[in-house]
Homo-oligomer: A and B are copies of this chain.
Amino acid sequence: HVSHLGSTHTAYAADYDPTLLETFVNKHPENDYLVSFDAYEFTSLCPKTGQPDFAKVYLSYIPTQNMVESKSLKLYLFSFRNHGDFHEDCMNIILNDLYQLMNPKYIEVLGLFTPRGGISIYPFVNRVNPEFETPELKELAFQRKVNVLNQLPQYKNFVR
């Protein structure tokens, strides 16, 4: 499933393209394993004004059988470059695409967008897979909401 890694001439998508995402097999399915990404070069367009927006995107999940390959994730995130959608929608779309790709036990996406007019927006979405739902995973999803709020004053440090 991994075609991008090591390819000679990478093709960069002209617009949003979820088919860029590829997976590889999780060798440790017996663990409730965490994989996290810090993708600090996300950019998309404002659907109304066409103005570029910039964000750092933080992704995490607990895998089941398949895991997203990181170079394909990079190409997928780059495909938002000339795509127009609101901050909140972009983060939901990313969560949905990765959820569908990997069927993870748990997944979350946080976007830290740079300011416009002195105000920054930080959308956060997370989801527990009903197929694997446990009280612990529900508690995890709840605690993550609490902590995104707890860190709000610190986010500016992470996106400047």
Q: Verify if A140 is at the interface (C-beta below 8 Å from B).
A: yes
Q: Verify if A58 is at the interface (C-beta below 8 Å from B).
A: yes
How many of chain A's residues have a CB under 8 angstroms from any CB in B? Answer: 82
Q: Are B10 and A50 in contact (CB under 8 A)?
A: yes
Q: Are B115 and A38 in contact (CB under 8 A)?
A: yes
Known: A12-B51, A38-B115, A117-B116. A149 touches B142 (CB 8 A): no
Q: Verify if A19 is at the interface (C-beta below 8 Å from B).
A: no
Count of chain copies: 10
**In the complex, what residues of B have CB within 8 A of residue A157's CB?**
160
Q: Are B6 and A6 in contact (CB under 8 A)?
A: no
Q: Are B156 and A40 in contact (CB under 8 A)?
A: yes
Known: A140-B146, A151-B153. A122 touches B12 (CB 8 A): no
Known: A6-B49, A48-B5, A71-B117. A144 touches B149 (CB 8 A): yes
Q: Nearest 9 pairs between A and B by C-beta?
A: A41-B118, A8-B8, A147-B150, A34-B124, A36-B122, A38-B120, A12-B50, A153-B158, A143-B146
